[in-house]
Structure 1
Amino acid sequence: MATGLAFRNGQFIPASDLSISIHDTGFVLGTTVAERVRTYGGELFAWAEHLARLRESLAIVAVNPGFDDTFLTQAAQRLVENNRTSLPDDSDLSLCLFVTPGERGTPLVVIYTEEVAFATFASLYRGGQRLITSRIRQTSPENWPPQLKCRSRMHYYLADHEVRQIDPASRALLLSLDGLVTEASTANVMLHLPDEGIVSPRRETVLPGISLQVTERLAGRLGMAFTYRDIRPDELSRADEIFLCSTSPGILPVVMMDGQAVGSGAPGEVFGQLLSAWNEHVGLDIVAQALRFGGAAG
Protein backbone atom coordinates (compact mmCIF):
# COMPACT_ATOMS: atom_id res chain seq x y z
CA MET A 1 0.00 0.00 0.00
CA ALA A 2 1.37 3.38 -1.04
CA THR A 3 2.01 5.67 1.91
CA GLY A 4 3.57 9.05 2.61
CA LEU A 5 4.06 11.45 -0.27
CA ALA A 6 3.49 10.72 -3.95
CA PHE A 7 4.18 12.63 -7.16
CA ARG A 8 1.51 13.38 -9.74
CA ASN A 9 2.17 15.58 -12.79
CA GLY A 10 4.58 17.93 -11.05
CA GLN A 11 2.86 18.04 -7.68
CA PHE A 12 3.71 16.27 -4.43
CA ILE A 13 0.53 15.02 -2.78
CA PRO A 14 -0.45 12.54 -0.06
CA ALA A 15 -0.24 9.05 -1.53
CA SER A 16 -3.75 8.41 -0.25
CA ASP A 17 -5.00 11.06 -2.70
CA LEU A 18 -3.61 9.32 -5.79
CA SER A 19 -6.21 8.44 -8.41
CA ILE A 20 -6.54 7.75 -12.12
CA SER A 21 -9.43 8.84 -14.30
CA ILE A 22 -11.69 6.14 -15.70
CA HIS A 23 -11.15 7.89 -19.04
CA ASP A 24 -7.35 7.78 -18.88
CA THR A 25 -5.92 5.85 -21.82
CA GLY A 26 -3.69 3.93 -19.43
CA PHE A 27 -6.82 2.57 -17.75
CA VAL A 28 -9.02 2.18 -20.84
CA LEU A 29 -6.42 0.58 -23.13
CA GLY A 30 -3.72 -0.54 -20.71
CA THR A 31 -1.20 1.81 -22.33
CA THR A 32 0.90 2.31 -19.22
CA VAL A 33 4.69 2.44 -19.31
CA ALA A 34 6.15 1.63 -15.90
CA GLU A 35 9.35 1.03 -13.97
CA ARG A 36 9.66 -0.46 -10.52
CA VAL A 37 12.85 0.31 -8.62
CA ARG A 38 13.83 -0.66 -5.10
CA THR A 39 16.20 0.80 -2.58
CA TYR A 40 19.02 -1.01 -0.81
CA GLY A 41 20.05 0.69 2.40
CA GLY A 42 17.80 3.59 1.48
CA GLU A 43 19.47 4.25 -1.90
CA LEU A 44 17.73 3.77 -5.24
CA PHE A 45 19.36 0.80 -6.98
CA ALA A 46 20.32 1.02 -10.67
CA TRP A 47 18.15 4.13 -11.03
CA ALA A 48 19.96 5.38 -14.15
CA GLU A 49 19.40 2.04 -15.91
CA HIS A 50 15.71 1.99 -15.00
CA LEU A 51 15.29 5.56 -16.17
CA ALA A 52 17.01 4.79 -19.49
CA ARG A 53 14.68 1.82 -20.03
CA LEU A 54 11.69 4.03 -19.22
CA ARG A 55 12.81 6.51 -21.88
CA GLU A 56 13.15 3.70 -24.43
CA SER A 57 9.65 2.48 -23.63
CA LEU A 58 8.22 6.00 -23.87
CA ALA A 59 9.86 6.43 -27.27
CA ILE A 60 8.20 3.22 -28.47
CA VAL A 61 4.73 4.45 -27.48
CA ALA A 62 5.51 8.04 -28.57
CA VAL A 63 4.63 9.65 -25.23
CA ASN A 64 6.53 12.66 -23.88
CA PRO A 65 6.05 12.85 -20.11
CA GLY A 66 7.03 16.52 -20.03
CA PHE A 67 9.73 16.10 -17.38
CA ASP A 68 13.44 15.56 -17.98
CA ASP A 69 15.57 12.93 -16.25
CA THR A 70 17.00 15.39 -13.74
CA PHE A 71 13.54 16.44 -12.61
CA LEU A 72 12.29 12.85 -12.31
CA THR A 73 15.42 11.88 -10.39
CA GLN A 74 14.97 14.72 -7.93
CA ALA A 75 11.30 13.82 -7.49
CA ALA A 76 12.11 10.17 -6.85
CA GLN A 77 14.84 11.03 -4.37
CA ARG A 78 12.55 13.39 -2.49
CA LEU A 79 9.94 10.64 -2.12
CA VAL A 80 12.54 8.17 -0.89
CA GLU A 81 13.97 10.63 1.64
CA ASN A 82 10.52 11.51 2.94
CA ASN A 83 8.82 8.12 2.87
CA ARG A 84 11.62 5.95 4.23
CA THR A 85 11.20 7.66 7.62
CA SER A 86 7.96 5.73 8.09
CA LEU A 87 9.68 2.36 7.56
CA PRO A 88 11.12 0.14 10.27
CA ASP A 89 14.87 0.54 10.65
CA ASP A 90 16.82 -1.35 7.95
CA SER A 91 13.79 -1.93 5.72
CA ASP A 92 13.62 -0.62 2.15
CA LEU A 93 11.26 0.98 -0.32
CA SER A 94 9.83 -0.12 -3.63
CA LEU A 95 9.30 2.86 -5.95
CA CYS A 96 7.00 2.78 -8.97
CA LEU A 97 7.12 5.36 -11.75
CA PHE A 98 4.44 5.08 -14.42
CA VAL A 99 3.40 7.18 -17.40
CA THR A 100 0.22 6.99 -19.46
CA PRO A 101 -0.92 9.01 -22.48
CA GLY A 102 -3.57 10.38 -20.12
CA GLU A 103 -6.77 11.82 -21.47
CA ARG A 104 -7.27 14.59 -24.00
CA GLY A 105 -3.58 14.56 -24.89
CA THR A 106 -2.15 15.31 -21.44
CA PRO A 107 0.14 12.50 -20.18
CA LEU A 108 -0.17 11.29 -16.62
CA VAL A 109 3.10 10.87 -14.68
CA VAL A 110 2.95 9.25 -11.24
CA ILE A 111 5.62 8.17 -8.75
CA TYR A 112 4.79 6.46 -5.48
CA THR A 113 6.50 4.22 -2.95
CA GLU A 114 5.65 1.38 -0.61
CA GLU A 115 7.65 -0.98 1.51
CA VAL A 116 9.27 -3.78 -0.49
CA ALA A 117 6.84 -6.72 -0.49
CA PHE A 118 9.28 -9.01 1.29
CA ALA A 119 6.59 -11.52 2.28
CA THR A 120 6.04 -12.45 -1.38
CA PHE A 121 9.55 -13.84 -1.81
CA ALA A 122 11.34 -14.11 1.56
CA SER A 123 10.99 -17.88 1.89
CA LEU A 124 12.03 -18.53 -1.72
CA TYR A 125 15.73 -17.84 -1.23
CA ARG A 126 15.96 -21.05 0.81
CA GLY A 127 12.88 -22.99 -0.26
CA GLY A 128 13.07 -22.14 -3.95
CA GLN A 129 10.45 -21.30 -6.58
CA ARG A 130 8.51 -23.88 -8.58
CA LEU A 131 7.81 -23.24 -12.28
CA ILE A 132 5.35 -24.81 -14.72
CA THR A 133 5.39 -24.18 -18.46
CA SER A 134 2.12 -22.52 -19.43
CA ARG A 135 0.10 -23.06 -22.58
CA ILE A 136 -0.25 -19.27 -22.68
CA ARG A 137 2.46 -17.86 -24.94
CA GLN A 138 4.53 -14.72 -24.68
CA THR A 139 3.19 -11.86 -26.78
CA SER A 140 4.48 -11.71 -30.33
CA PRO A 141 7.19 -9.10 -31.04
CA GLU A 142 4.97 -8.13 -33.95
CA ASN A 143 2.45 -6.84 -31.40
CA TRP A 144 4.93 -4.81 -29.39
CA PRO A 145 8.70 -5.14 -28.93
CA PRO A 146 9.94 -7.10 -25.89
CA GLN A 147 11.94 -4.00 -24.88
CA LEU A 148 8.68 -2.22 -23.98
CA LYS A 149 8.15 -2.32 -20.21
CA CYS A 150 4.42 -1.88 -19.90
CA ARG A 151 1.45 -2.85 -17.77
CA SER A 152 -0.36 -4.74 -20.54
CA ARG A 153 0.07 -8.07 -18.75
CA MET A 154 -3.07 -10.12 -19.35
CA HIS A 155 -0.94 -12.98 -20.69
CA TYR A 156 1.02 -13.11 -17.42
CA TYR A 157 -2.20 -13.15 -15.42
CA LEU A 158 -3.72 -15.94 -17.50
CA ALA A 159 -0.50 -17.97 -17.46
CA ASP A 160 -0.16 -17.75 -13.67
CA HIS A 161 -3.85 -18.53 -13.24
CA GLU A 162 -3.45 -21.64 -15.39
CA VAL A 163 -0.44 -23.07 -13.56
CA ARG A 164 -1.84 -22.29 -10.11
CA GLN A 165 -4.77 -24.59 -10.85
CA ILE A 166 -2.09 -27.31 -10.99
CA ASP A 167 0.12 -26.07 -8.14
CA PRO A 168 -0.85 -22.95 -6.17
CA ALA A 169 2.80 -22.30 -5.27
CA SER A 170 4.04 -22.32 -8.87
CA ARG A 171 4.71 -19.49 -11.28
CA ALA A 172 4.33 -19.65 -15.04
CA LEU A 173 7.12 -20.03 -17.56
CA LEU A 174 6.12 -18.66 -20.94
CA LEU A 175 7.33 -19.83 -24.33
CA SER A 176 7.45 -17.76 -27.49
CA LEU A 177 5.12 -18.42 -30.41
CA ASP A 178 8.06 -20.37 -31.87
CA GLY A 179 8.17 -22.58 -28.79
CA LEU A 180 11.35 -21.17 -27.23
CA VAL A 181 11.87 -20.27 -23.57
CA THR A 182 11.27 -16.55 -22.90
CA GLU A 183 10.40 -15.38 -19.38
CA ALA A 184 8.57 -16.26 -16.23
CA SER A 185 5.70 -13.98 -15.30
CA THR A 186 7.45 -10.67 -14.43
CA ALA A 187 10.91 -12.25 -14.18
CA ASN A 188 13.86 -13.08 -16.43
CA VAL A 189 15.04 -16.69 -16.56
CA MET A 190 18.55 -18.16 -16.51
CA LEU A 191 19.72 -21.77 -16.70
CA HIS A 192 22.99 -23.21 -15.50
CA LEU A 193 24.10 -26.04 -17.79
CA PRO A 194 27.02 -28.17 -16.54
CA ASP A 195 28.83 -28.11 -19.90
CA GLU A 196 28.12 -24.49 -20.80
CA GLY A 197 27.63 -22.27 -17.77
CA ILE A 198 24.80 -19.77 -17.45
CA VAL A 199 22.50 -19.24 -20.43
CA SER A 200 19.58 -16.85 -20.84
CA PRO A 201 17.26 -16.20 -23.80
CA ARG A 202 18.55 -13.92 -26.55
CA ARG A 203 18.41 -10.27 -25.49
CA GLU A 204 16.20 -9.20 -28.38
CA THR A 205 13.52 -11.75 -27.45
CA VAL A 206 12.89 -10.73 -23.83
CA LEU A 207 12.61 -7.68 -21.62
CA PRO A 208 16.10 -6.27 -20.93
CA GLY A 209 15.94 -6.95 -17.20
CA ILE A 210 18.05 -4.70 -15.01
CA SER A 211 18.55 -7.45 -12.41
CA LEU A 212 19.51 -9.83 -15.22
CA GLN A 213 22.20 -7.41 -16.39
CA VAL A 214 23.50 -7.06 -12.83
CA THR A 215 23.65 -10.84 -12.50
CA GLU A 216 25.54 -11.13 -15.78
CA ARG A 217 28.17 -8.67 -14.53
CA LEU A 218 28.48 -10.44 -11.19
CA ALA A 219 28.82 -13.81 -12.92
CA GLY A 220 31.65 -12.35 -15.00
CA ARG A 221 33.47 -11.24 -11.86
CA LEU A 222 33.13 -14.78 -10.53
CA GLY A 223 34.60 -16.21 -13.72
CA MET A 224 31.33 -17.83 -14.79
CA ALA A 225 30.51 -18.20 -18.47
CA PHE A 226 27.33 -16.32 -19.42
CA THR A 227 25.65 -16.67 -22.82
CA TYR A 228 22.51 -15.27 -24.43
CA ARG A 229 20.98 -17.68 -26.95
CA ASP A 230 17.80 -19.47 -27.94
CA ILE A 231 16.75 -22.03 -25.33
CA ARG A 232 14.56 -25.00 -26.21
CA PRO A 233 12.11 -26.32 -23.59
CA ASP A 234 13.84 -29.73 -23.57
CA GLU A 235 17.00 -28.03 -22.29
CA LEU A 236 15.25 -27.18 -19.03
CA SER A 237 15.64 -30.78 -17.89
CA ARG A 238 19.42 -30.60 -18.51
CA ALA A 239 19.88 -27.63 -16.21
CA ASP A 240 21.37 -28.38 -12.81
CA GLU A 241 20.24 -24.95 -11.61
CA ILE A 242 17.65 -22.43 -12.79
CA PHE A 243 17.33 -18.84 -11.57
CA LEU A 244 14.83 -15.99 -11.77
CA CYS A 245 15.80 -12.32 -11.73
CA SER A 246 13.54 -9.38 -10.94
CA THR A 247 13.71 -6.08 -9.10
CA SER A 248 12.44 -6.82 -5.61
CA PRO A 249 14.24 -10.10 -4.77
CA GLY A 250 17.19 -9.61 -7.12
CA ILE A 251 17.78 -13.32 -7.77
CA LEU A 252 15.87 -16.45 -6.75
CA PRO A 253 16.49 -20.18 -7.23
CA VAL A 254 14.07 -22.49 -9.06
CA VAL A 255 13.92 -25.93 -7.45
CA MET A 256 11.21 -27.62 -9.51
CA MET A 257 10.42 -27.36 -13.22
CA ASP A 258 7.24 -28.93 -14.60
CA GLY A 259 7.00 -31.26 -11.63
CA GLN A 260 10.62 -32.45 -11.83
CA ALA A 261 13.35 -31.47 -9.38
CA VAL A 262 15.99 -29.09 -10.71
CA GLY A 263 19.35 -30.55 -9.73
CA SER A 264 19.12 -31.74 -6.14
CA GLY A 265 15.76 -30.03 -5.67
CA ALA A 266 17.33 -27.38 -3.44
CA PRO A 267 19.14 -24.08 -4.13
CA GLY A 268 22.51 -24.97 -5.64
CA GLU A 269 26.12 -23.92 -5.36
CA VAL A 270 26.05 -21.50 -8.29
CA PHE A 271 23.02 -19.75 -6.83
CA GLY A 272 24.84 -19.44 -3.52
CA GLN A 273 27.83 -17.81 -5.20
CA LEU A 274 25.64 -15.39 -7.15
CA LEU A 275 23.61 -14.54 -4.05
CA SER A 276 26.79 -13.77 -2.11
CA ALA A 277 27.92 -11.55 -4.98
CA TRP A 278 24.56 -9.75 -4.89
CA ASN A 279 24.92 -9.20 -1.14
CA GLU A 280 28.36 -7.69 -1.60
CA HIS A 281 27.18 -5.57 -4.53
CA VAL A 282 24.22 -3.99 -2.70
CA GLY A 283 25.93 -3.79 0.68
CA LEU A 284 23.57 -5.89 2.77
CA ASP A 285 22.39 -9.44 3.38
CA ILE A 286 19.27 -9.51 1.21
CA VAL A 287 18.05 -12.86 2.56
CA ALA A 288 18.34 -11.76 6.19
CA GLN A 289 16.52 -8.53 5.38
CA ALA A 290 13.73 -10.33 3.52
CA LEU A 291 13.27 -12.86 6.31
CA ARG A 292 13.27 -10.14 8.96
CA PHE A 293 10.55 -8.09 7.29
CA GLY A 294 8.76 -10.78 5.29
CA GLY A 295 8.75 -13.62 7.78
CA ALA A 296 8.30 -17.17 6.56
CA ALA A 297 5.45 -16.31 4.17
CA GLY A 298 6.20 -16.47 0.51
Structure 2
Amino acid sequence: MSSPLAYLNGRLVPFGTAALPLHDAGFVSGATVVDNARTFRHTLFRWDDHLARFHRDCEACYVPLDATDAQLTAAADELVRHNTKLLPPGGELQLVTFATPGPLGFYLGEEANGPPTLGMVTYPLPFARYRRFFTDGVTLAVVGAQGESLLSPTVKHRSRMLWHVADYRARAINPGALAVLTDGRGALTETSVANVLAVVAGVVTSPPRETILDGISLRVTRELCASLGVPFAEASLPTNALGRFSELLLTGTGFCVAGVANVIAEGGRSHRLPWPGPVYRKLLAAWSDLAGVDVERQFTG
Protein backbone atom coordinates (compact mmCIF):
# COMPACT_ATOMS: atom_id res chain seq x y z
CA MET A 1 0.00 0.00 0.00
CA SER A 2 1.51 3.35 -1.09
CA SER A 3 -0.64 5.59 1.14
CA PRO A 4 -0.33 6.16 4.89
CA LEU A 5 -2.46 4.31 7.39
CA ALA A 6 -4.36 5.65 10.38
CA TYR A 7 -5.79 3.89 13.43
CA LEU A 8 -9.43 4.54 14.29
CA ASN A 9 -11.52 2.70 16.87
CA GLY A 10 -9.58 -0.53 16.78
CA ARG A 11 -8.86 -0.72 13.05
CA LEU A 12 -6.03 0.30 10.76
CA VAL A 13 -7.53 2.17 7.81
CA PRO A 14 -6.20 4.21 4.89
CA PHE A 15 -5.52 7.73 6.09
CA GLY A 16 -7.68 9.20 3.33
CA THR A 17 -10.77 7.29 4.45
CA ALA A 18 -10.47 7.88 8.22
CA ALA A 19 -13.33 10.12 9.36
CA LEU A 20 -15.27 11.16 12.44
CA PRO A 21 -19.02 11.80 12.44
CA LEU A 22 -19.91 15.49 12.55
CA HIS A 23 -21.62 14.97 15.91
CA ASP A 24 -18.51 13.58 17.61
CA ALA A 25 -17.78 15.54 20.80
CA GLY A 26 -14.20 16.03 19.64
CA PHE A 27 -15.49 18.03 16.67
CA VAL A 28 -18.54 19.86 18.04
CA SER A 29 -17.12 20.60 21.52
CA GLY A 30 -13.36 20.35 21.08
CA ALA A 31 -13.45 17.65 23.78
CA THR A 32 -10.31 15.82 22.74
CA VAL A 33 -7.42 14.50 24.78
CA VAL A 34 -4.30 14.35 22.63
CA ASP A 35 -0.69 13.25 22.68
CA ASN A 36 2.06 14.07 20.21
CA ALA A 37 5.17 11.86 20.06
CA ARG A 38 8.00 11.67 17.52
CA THR A 39 10.43 9.14 16.14
CA PHE A 40 14.19 9.10 16.06
CA ARG A 41 15.58 6.74 13.42
CA HIS A 42 11.99 5.55 12.88
CA THR A 43 11.53 4.46 16.52
CA LEU A 44 9.12 6.23 18.87
CA PHE A 45 10.95 8.25 21.53
CA ARG A 46 9.85 7.90 25.19
CA TRP A 47 6.63 6.17 24.12
CA ASP A 48 6.00 4.75 27.60
CA ASP A 49 6.00 8.27 29.05
CA HIS A 50 3.66 9.55 26.35
CA LEU A 51 1.30 6.62 26.89
CA ALA A 52 1.23 7.06 30.67
CA ARG A 53 0.44 10.77 30.32
CA PHE A 54 -2.30 10.02 27.79
CA HIS A 55 -3.93 7.59 30.24
CA ARG A 56 -3.69 10.13 33.05
CA ASP A 57 -5.20 12.93 30.97
CA CYS A 58 -8.08 10.80 29.68
CA GLU A 59 -8.96 9.97 33.27
CA ALA A 60 -8.70 13.63 34.33
CA CYS A 61 -11.02 14.68 31.49
CA TYR A 62 -13.59 11.86 31.92
CA VAL A 63 -12.83 10.44 28.47
CA PRO A 64 -13.17 6.63 28.53
CA LEU A 65 -10.14 4.70 27.27
CA ASP A 66 -10.89 1.02 26.78
CA ALA A 67 -7.80 -0.03 24.80
CA THR A 68 -4.96 -1.64 26.73
CA ASP A 69 -1.39 -0.37 26.67
CA ALA A 70 -0.43 -3.40 24.63
CA GLN A 71 -3.10 -2.66 22.04
CA LEU A 72 -2.13 1.00 21.78
CA THR A 73 1.54 0.14 21.51
CA ALA A 74 0.90 -2.47 18.81
CA ALA A 75 -1.17 0.02 16.80
CA ALA A 76 1.47 2.74 17.17
CA ASP A 77 4.28 0.40 16.14
CA GLU A 78 2.36 -0.78 13.08
CA LEU A 79 1.57 2.76 11.98
CA VAL A 80 5.20 3.77 12.33
CA ARG A 81 6.42 0.62 10.59
CA HIS A 82 4.13 1.20 7.60
CA ASN A 83 4.19 4.99 7.33
CA THR A 84 7.96 5.41 7.64
CA LYS A 85 8.29 3.48 4.38
CA LEU A 86 6.66 6.46 2.66
CA LEU A 87 9.11 9.03 4.02
CA PRO A 88 11.95 10.60 2.03
CA PRO A 89 15.52 9.75 3.10
CA GLY A 90 16.24 11.21 6.53
CA GLY A 91 12.55 11.73 7.30
CA GLU A 92 10.93 11.15 10.67
CA LEU A 93 7.34 10.91 11.90
CA GLN A 94 5.20 12.57 14.52
CA LEU A 95 2.46 10.38 15.98
CA VAL A 96 -0.74 11.96 17.28
CA THR A 97 -2.92 9.86 19.59
CA PHE A 98 -6.36 11.25 20.41
CA ALA A 99 -9.47 10.27 22.34
CA THR A 100 -12.91 11.85 22.56
CA PRO A 101 -16.12 10.98 24.44
CA GLY A 102 -17.52 9.95 21.05
CA PRO A 103 -20.71 10.95 19.20
CA LEU A 104 -23.28 13.06 21.05
CA GLY A 105 -26.63 11.35 20.86
CA PHE A 106 -28.84 14.43 21.11
CA TYR A 107 -27.63 15.57 17.68
CA LEU A 108 -29.56 12.59 16.30
CA GLY A 109 -32.44 12.81 18.74
CA GLU A 110 -31.05 9.94 20.82
CA GLU A 111 -30.47 9.78 24.56
CA ALA A 112 -27.27 7.75 24.63
CA ASN A 113 -23.84 9.13 23.80
CA GLY A 114 -20.76 7.27 22.56
CA PRO A 115 -19.10 4.95 22.12
CA PRO A 116 -15.82 6.84 22.77
CA THR A 117 -13.53 7.59 19.85
CA LEU A 118 -9.86 6.56 19.82
CA GLY A 119 -7.47 7.28 16.99
CA MET A 120 -3.86 7.63 15.88
CA VAL A 121 -2.42 9.43 12.88
CA THR A 122 1.10 10.22 11.77
CA TYR A 123 2.56 13.04 9.73
CA PRO A 124 6.09 13.73 8.50
CA LEU A 125 8.04 15.71 11.08
CA PRO A 126 8.05 19.27 9.64
CA PHE A 127 11.74 20.09 9.71
CA ALA A 128 11.17 23.33 7.77
CA ARG A 129 8.74 24.60 10.42
CA TYR A 130 11.45 24.64 13.06
CA ARG A 131 14.52 25.29 10.89
CA ARG A 132 14.76 28.96 11.89
CA PHE A 133 14.93 27.92 15.54
CA PHE A 134 18.38 26.51 14.76
CA THR A 135 19.55 29.08 12.21
CA ASP A 136 18.31 32.34 13.77
CA GLY A 137 17.04 31.52 17.25
CA VAL A 138 13.44 31.86 18.38
CA THR A 139 11.55 35.15 18.62
CA LEU A 140 8.83 35.21 21.27
CA ALA A 141 6.09 37.81 21.65
CA VAL A 142 4.24 38.23 24.94
CA VAL A 143 0.58 38.58 23.95
CA GLY A 144 -1.40 38.10 27.14
CA ALA A 145 -2.23 35.81 30.02
CA GLN A 146 -3.60 32.31 30.36
CA GLY A 147 -7.37 32.33 30.86
CA GLU A 148 -9.10 31.11 33.98
CA SER A 149 -10.09 27.48 33.48
CA LEU A 150 -11.59 24.50 35.26
CA LEU A 151 -9.07 22.37 33.38
CA SER A 152 -5.59 22.03 34.78
CA PRO A 153 -2.87 23.58 32.58
CA THR A 154 -0.88 20.34 33.00
CA VAL A 155 -3.33 18.41 30.77
CA LYS A 156 -2.52 18.11 27.06
CA HIS A 157 -5.72 18.40 25.03
CA ARG A 158 -7.02 19.59 21.65
CA SER A 159 -8.90 22.81 22.42
CA ARG A 160 -6.56 25.11 20.51
CA MET A 161 -8.56 28.32 19.98
CA LEU A 162 -6.56 30.13 22.66
CA TRP A 163 -3.31 29.34 20.84
CA HIS A 164 -4.78 30.11 17.42
CA VAL A 165 -5.58 33.64 18.61
CA ALA A 166 -2.33 34.03 20.56
CA ASP A 167 -0.08 33.04 17.66
CA TYR A 168 -2.09 35.23 15.26
CA ARG A 169 -1.48 38.22 17.53
CA ALA A 170 2.22 37.34 17.82
CA ARG A 171 2.59 37.24 14.03
CA ALA A 172 0.90 40.64 13.80
CA ILE A 173 3.69 41.98 16.03
CA ASN A 174 6.48 40.13 14.21
CA PRO A 175 5.83 37.72 11.31
CA GLY A 176 8.35 35.24 12.67
CA ALA A 177 7.27 35.40 16.30
CA LEU A 178 5.79 32.66 18.44
CA ALA A 179 3.31 33.64 21.16
CA VAL A 180 4.22 33.16 24.81
CA LEU A 181 1.60 33.63 27.52
CA THR A 182 1.94 34.82 31.09
CA ASP A 183 0.24 33.54 34.21
CA GLY A 184 -1.73 36.73 34.88
CA ARG A 185 0.91 38.02 37.27
CA GLY A 186 3.33 38.80 34.48
CA ALA A 187 5.39 35.60 34.61
CA LEU A 188 6.16 33.52 31.52
CA THR A 189 4.36 30.18 31.17
CA GLU A 190 4.59 28.43 27.77
CA THR A 191 4.06 28.59 24.01
CA SER A 192 1.77 26.66 21.67
CA VAL A 193 4.54 24.18 20.81
CA ALA A 194 6.93 24.21 23.75
CA ASN A 195 7.69 24.63 27.41
CA VAL A 196 9.79 27.66 28.36
CA LEU A 197 13.00 27.54 30.41
CA ALA A 198 15.26 30.35 31.57
CA VAL A 199 18.87 30.21 32.67
CA VAL A 200 19.13 32.35 35.81
CA ALA A 201 22.50 32.59 37.59
CA GLY A 202 23.53 29.31 35.97
CA VAL A 203 20.34 27.46 36.97
CA VAL A 204 17.97 26.14 34.31
CA THR A 205 14.61 27.30 35.62
CA SER A 206 11.11 26.16 34.70
CA PRO A 207 7.84 27.81 35.69
CA PRO A 208 6.16 25.89 38.54
CA ARG A 209 4.87 22.57 37.22
CA GLU A 210 1.28 23.20 38.29
CA THR A 211 1.10 26.20 35.93
CA ILE A 212 2.29 24.56 32.70
CA LEU A 213 1.92 21.53 30.47
CA ASP A 214 3.55 18.38 31.80
CA GLY A 215 5.81 18.15 28.75
CA ILE A 216 7.67 14.92 28.02
CA SER A 217 10.48 16.93 26.43
CA LEU A 218 10.62 19.06 29.57
CA ARG A 219 11.06 15.88 31.61
CA VAL A 220 13.87 14.74 29.31
CA THR A 221 15.58 18.13 29.52
CA ARG A 222 15.39 18.01 33.32
CA GLU A 223 17.02 14.57 33.24
CA LEU A 224 19.73 15.79 30.87
CA CYS A 225 20.49 18.71 33.16
CA ALA A 226 20.98 16.24 36.02
CA SER A 227 23.33 14.09 33.92
CA LEU A 228 25.33 17.16 32.87
CA GLY A 229 25.56 18.58 36.37
CA VAL A 230 23.53 21.64 35.40
CA PRO A 231 21.29 22.83 38.26
CA PHE A 232 17.54 22.73 37.55
CA ALA A 233 14.83 24.47 39.54
CA GLU A 234 11.21 25.62 39.38
CA ALA A 235 10.39 29.28 39.96
CA SER A 236 8.34 32.12 38.55
CA LEU A 237 9.85 33.79 35.46
CA PRO A 238 8.56 37.39 35.57
CA THR A 239 8.75 39.33 32.33
CA ASN A 240 10.06 42.36 34.21
CA ALA A 241 13.15 40.29 35.06
CA LEU A 242 14.14 39.37 31.51
CA GLY A 243 17.41 41.20 32.02
CA ARG A 244 18.40 38.60 34.62
CA PHE A 245 18.02 35.69 32.18
CA SER A 246 21.36 34.76 30.63
CA GLU A 247 19.50 32.43 28.22
CA LEU A 248 15.91 31.55 27.38
CA LEU A 249 15.12 28.09 25.99
CA LEU A 250 12.21 26.19 24.49
CA THR A 251 11.77 22.43 24.69
CA GLY A 252 9.18 20.54 22.67
CA THR A 253 8.51 17.23 20.94
CA GLY A 254 9.14 18.32 17.38
CA PHE A 255 12.52 20.00 17.79
CA CYS A 256 13.77 18.87 21.25
CA VAL A 257 15.42 22.09 22.43
CA ALA A 258 15.90 25.56 20.96
CA GLY A 259 17.35 28.88 22.09
CA VAL A 260 15.44 32.16 22.16
CA ALA A 261 17.15 35.16 20.57
CA ASN A 262 14.51 37.83 21.16
CA VAL A 263 11.49 38.44 23.39
CA ILE A 264 9.04 41.18 22.44
CA ALA A 265 7.33 42.28 25.63
CA GLU A 266 3.85 43.75 25.83
CA GLY A 267 4.22 47.32 24.66
CA GLY A 268 6.59 46.31 21.86
CA ARG A 269 9.97 46.54 23.59
CA SER A 270 12.47 43.92 22.39
CA HIS A 271 14.78 42.10 24.77
CA ARG A 272 17.71 40.48 22.98
CA LEU A 273 19.27 37.41 24.55
CA PRO A 274 22.61 35.72 23.85
CA TRP A 275 22.09 33.16 21.11
CA PRO A 276 23.24 30.48 20.78
CA GLY A 277 24.09 30.35 24.47
CA PRO A 278 26.41 27.85 26.15
CA VAL A 279 23.70 26.01 28.12
CA TYR A 280 21.62 25.65 24.97
CA ARG A 281 24.58 24.24 23.06
CA LYS A 282 25.32 21.80 25.88
CA LEU A 283 21.71 20.60 26.07
CA LEU A 284 21.42 20.32 22.29
CA ALA A 285 24.50 18.10 22.21
CA ALA A 286 23.07 15.99 25.04
CA TRP A 287 19.75 15.62 23.21
CA SER A 288 21.65 14.46 20.11
CA ASP A 289 23.61 11.92 22.12
CA LEU A 290 20.42 10.60 23.71
CA ALA A 291 18.51 10.38 20.43
CA GLY A 292 21.43 8.96 18.47
CA VAL A 293 21.12 11.61 15.75
CA ASP A 294 22.48 15.10 15.17
CA VAL A 295 19.29 16.99 16.06
CA GLU A 296 20.43 20.32 14.63
CA ARG A 297 21.50 18.74 11.34
CA GLN A 298 18.06 17.17 10.95
CA PHE A 299 16.62 20.67 10.68
CA THR A 300 19.39 22.55 8.91
CA GLY A 301 20.48 19.83 6.45
TM-score when normalising by structure 1: 0.92
| Residue 35 (1) aligns with residue 35 (2) | yes
Contact preservation (8 Å) 1:8, 1:109: yes
Contact preservation (8 Å) 2:101, 2:116: yes
Amino acid across the alignment from 1:205: T
Mapped to 2, the partners of 1:32 and 1:138 lie a distance apart of 19
Could you tell me which runs of 5 or more consecutive residues in structure 1 were left unpaired when the two chains were aligned. Answer: 293-298
Give the match for residue 262 of structure 1: 272
Secondary structure of 1:240 counterpart: strand
* Deviation of the 1:123 alpha carbon: 2.6
Mapped to 2, the partners of 1:229 and 1:49 lie a distance apart of 24
Could you tell me which runs of 5 or more consecutive residues in structure 2 were left unpaired when the two chains were aligned. Answer: 104-112
Mapped to 2, the partners of 1:263 and 1:179 lie a distance apart of 19
Q: How does 1:1-298 map to 2 (within 5 A)?
A: 3-103=3-103, 104-135=113-144, 137-140=145-148, 142-193=149-200, 195-258=201-264, 259-264=269-274, 266-292=275-301
Mapped to 1, the partners of 2:70 and 2:198 lie a distance apart of 37
Contact preservation (8 Å) 1:239, 1:262: no
Contact preservation (8 Å) 2:33, 2:98: yes
Amino acid across the alignment from 1:183: E
Contact preservation (8 Å) 2:242, 2:271: no
Mapped to 2, the partners of 1:80 and 1:214 lie a distance apart of 22
Contact preservation (8 Å) 1:237, 1:262: no
Any idea what the Cα deviations from partners look like across 1:48-107, whole Å, max 9, x if unmatched? 111111111100111222201110001000111111111123321111111111112211
Q: Percent identity?
A: 35
Contact preservation (8 Å) 2:132, 2:138: no
Secondary structure of 1:133 counterpart: strand
* Deviation of the 1:261 alpha carbon: 4.3
Amino acid across the alignment from 1:138: Q
Contact preservation (8 Å) 2:6, 2:18: yes
Provide runs of 4+ in structure 1 moved above 4 Å: none
Secondary structure of 1:70 counterpart: helix
For this pair of structures, how many residues does the alignment match? 286
Mapped to 1, the partners of 2:192 and 2:64 lie a distance apart of 28
Contact preservation (8 Å) 1:32, 1:152: yes
Mapped to 1, the partners of 2:209 and 2:15 lie a distance apart of 36
Mapped to 1, the partners of 2:95 and 2:121 lie a distance apart of 6
- Across the aligned residues of Structure 1 and Structure 2, the Cα RMSD in angstroms comes to 1.3
Mapped to 1, the partners of 2:57 and 2:147 lie a distance apart of 16
